[in-house]
Homo-oligomer: A and B are copies of this chain.
Amino acid sequence: MWNRFHIVGNLDMLCTEPQRRCRVSAIGDVARLAGVSKSTASRALSGRGYVSDATRERVVQAAADLGFVVSSNAASLVTGQTRNVGVVIPFINRWFFAEVLDGIESALISSGYDLTLYRLSPDAEQRRRVFDYFLVRKRVDAVIAIGIELTAREVDQLRSLGKPIVGLGGPIEGIPTVNIDDVDVARMATELLINLGHRKIMHLGGDLDEQMDFRVHAQRLSGFRLAMSAAGLDSDDNFRAVPFDIPGGYEGALKVLADPRQRPTAIVAGCDEVAVGVIVAARQLGIQIPSQLSVVGIDGHSLAPMFGLTTFEQYPSRQGSTAASIILETLAGTDQGEAPRELRRTMPVSLAVRGSTTAPASEDRGTKSRRASRERP
């Protein structure tokens, strides 16, 4: 058996039996070195309960000498808290998701929490496994779901384990979520173009059938349609579904802009990446932006300034830290999991006007703009 006295004061690994894992100092060793009991050592190190200053100092010194660090496993076992949050995410290598993850990570780490990452693939089997096998094992205190629509079963599963959940990127039935108003932002983007006088406006957005989209595509399309019909500009043929990235926007725009006769004067892109693709395609086709084609995006992507893209900026990283804060507050709250206030926190967006938008050429100018100029004295 291990003789603990061999350990005291010795920082090196002692592997008397190479087969067995090496022992590192435990709180008992610290206690012995400091000449106190385990319970006092625990109190001294965790700061809970009464410990005299002199004793605390001795214990802290002993812990430092031994290079002691608590075993979070042992602590979790008894406290029931892991100080670890699970993050479920469909993509890592997409701008929005990477930014969100970044924000969450920063917020969690600065509160002393770990982040355990689960990428959820569209594969239902893999998804079930994550929920049944991983998230459930008392490994995480809470779960943040990014851009994923949890099923009622999944929510129940986590909630019955007393784990708070926060959604990000769209509403989830019955749990607090952080998101922007995707319908509204698309409506505003469209209205921006309408107010500039555009009439032939197209929307290049994400595929509605794509899994894991959390209805963002559908909502932005819906906002577009809302604005268009409010301006009396309904049409069957003003939406085109493209992959939600730069090449998607590029390929889509090449097709949409091919025929000069049917070319729109403005495009509402489903996201900034699509918008950038559109701009690249337009430049390649020799179409001047914005004089021949206005483009507006949604996101506030880091490429927007370089391409002079007018866009409605959301701040995914801030959304991430907000979600993390909600989780941390919930965990800190005494009412742990009880009545998680049905908060749907809608984050603000802001408009960054750049060079990709202007009024259309006079022959394309719409009624609204004409009226506006007529009304002016």
Q: Write the residues of chain A forming the contact surface with B, with a CB cutoff of 8 angstroms.
A: 11-13, 18-19, 21-22, 24, 69-74, 76-77, 80, 82, 84, 92-93, 95, 98-99, 101-102, 105-106, 109, 112, 114-119, 126, 130, 132-134, 136-139, 160-162, 245-247, 250, 277, 280, 283-284, 302-303, 305-307, 334, 336, 338
User: Which of B24, B69, B93 interacts with A99 by CB under 8 Å?
Assistant: B93
Residues of B within 8 A of A132 (CB): 69
Residues of B within 8 A of A280 (CB): 280, 306-307
- Cα separation A95 to B93 with both chains bound (whole Å): 7
Residues of B within 8 A of A137 (CB): 69-72
Residues A119 and B106 in contact, CB atoms below 8 Å apart: yes
15 pairs from A and B in contact (CB 8 Å cutoff): A21-B80, A21-B336, A24-B138, A69-B137, A70-B137, A71-B137, A71-B138, A73-B76, A73-B82, A73-B138, A105-B119, A117-B117, A247-B302, A280-B280, A283-B284
Residues A246 and B71 in contact, CB atoms below 8 Å apart: no
> What number of copies of this chain does the assembly contain?
2
Residues of B within 8 A of A109 (CB): 118-119, 126, 130, 134
Nearest CB in chain B to that of A305: its residue:
B247
- A-B pairs, top 5 by smallest CB distance, nearest first, are A93-B98, A72-B137, A73-B76, A71-B138, A247-B306
Residues of B within 8 A of A70 (CB): 137
Residues of B within 8 A of A334 (CB): 19
User: Which of B71, B130, B161, B247 interacts with A77 by CB under 8 Å?
Assistant: B71
User: Which of B21, B74, B136 interacts with A69 by CB under 8 Å?
Assistant: B136
- Cα separation A126 to B45 with both chains bound (whole Å): 21
Residues of B within 8 A of A306 (CB): 246-247, 250, 277, 280
- Cα separation A61 to B11 with both chains bound (whole Å): 47
* Given known A-B contacts A69-B138, A137-B72, A162-B21, A92 and B98 have beta carbons under 8 A apart: yes
Residues of B within 8 A of A160 (CB): 11-13
- Cα separation A13 to B305 with both chains bound (whole Å): 52
- Cα separation A247 to B102 with both chains bound (whole Å): 20
Residues A73 and B69 in contact, CB atoms below 8 Å apart: no
Nearest CB in chain B to that of A87: its residue:
B117
User: Which of B24, B95, B101, B114 interacts with A134 by CB under 8 Å?
Assistant: B114
* Given known A-B contacts A105-B117, A117-B115, A118-B109, A338 and B18 have beta carbons under 8 A apart: yes
Shortest Cβ distance from A253 into chain B, in angstroms? 11
Residues B106 and A101 in contact, CB atoms below 8 Å apart: no
- Cα separation A137 to B115 with both chains bound (whole Å): 14
Residues of B within 8 A of A161 (CB): 22, 24
Residues A303 and B77 in contact, CB atoms below 8 Å apart: no
Residues B119 and A116 in contact, CB atoms below 8 Å apart: no
